[in-house]
Amino acid sequence: MSMKGRFPILRTLQYLGQGDIVFKESVKVMTVNYNTHGELGEGARKFVFFNIPQIQYKNPWVQIMMFKNMTPTPFLRFYLDSGEQVLVDVETKSNKEIMEHIKKILGKNEETLEREEQEKKQLSHPAHFGPRKYCLRECICEVEGQVPCPGLVPLPREMTGKYKAALKASAQD
C-alpha cells in the first residue's frame, strides 16, 4: 500500500497490530454515534480516526457501524449475542479514556489472552507440517537428516522410480 494520503501510517500492519482491545466472543456489533463538530465530541472523533481501525483489525468478527451527526451526545452501543445492549457515554472523554473503559468492561483480560496465545503456540508444534500460516515447517525435507526434496536436490539414481521399474523389467526378462 502506498504511503499517500492523510496519516498513511495508520494503515500499516504494525500500527493496526498495536491495538490492545480484543473483545470477548459475546460482542457481535459495535455502533459509534458521534458528531463531526463541537467541543464535547472531540474524544469520540479521535477515537473513530485513530482507534477504530485497530479494533477492526484485532476483532474481525465484530461488525462496526458509524453514525455521524445523528445524536446530540456521542456514545457507543455494543450488542451482545445474548440480546443485551451495553451503552457507553463518551461525551467528555478523550480517546485514551474511551479505550481504557471499553477494555475494562468488554475486553478480554491479560490472562485469557496469554492462555489463548499458549494454545496457539501448541498448535504450531515442530512435528506438524503444512502451510507456514499454521505450521513451522512446510515439508519433511526441512528437518535435519531427512532426504531433501527432489525439486531442490536430485535424488540418487537408485531411489528414482524409473530406475526401480527398469530393474524389475530386467529381472523378469
pLDDT digits (tens, 9 = 90+) for 36-47: 998 888 999 999
Strands, E assignment, 55-153: 63-68, 75-80, 85-89
What's the CATH fold of domain 8-114? Answer: Glutaredoxin (3.40.30)
pLDDT at 146: 83
Torsion sign across C-alpha atoms 151, 154, 158, 164: positive
DSSP 3-state of 131: coil
Q: How many Å is the Cα radius of gyration of the chain? A: 27
As a whole number of angstroms, the distance between CA 109 and CA 112 comes to 6
Which of the given ranges, 14-23, 57-66, 125-134, 146-155, has the highest pLDDT on average? 57-66
Please, what's the b/e burial string for 67-83 (b: 16 or more CB within 10 A of its CB; e: otherwise)? Answer: eeeeeeebbbebbbeee
Among candidate residues 43, 27, 26, the one with its CA nearest the CA of residue 35 = 43
Tell me, what's the pLDDT at 87?
Answer: 97
What pTM does this model have?
0.68
- Percent of the chain residues topping a pLDDT of 90: 55
Q: How many Å separate Cα 110 from the centre of its chain?
A: 17
106 Cβ contact list (under 8 Å, min separation 6): 23, 24, 27, 78, 86
Q: What's the rounded Cα separation, in Å, for the pair 102 and 54?
A: 13
Residues of the chain with CATH 3.40.30.10: 8-114
Q: How confident is the model at residue 108 (pLDDT cuts 50, 70, 90)?
A: very high
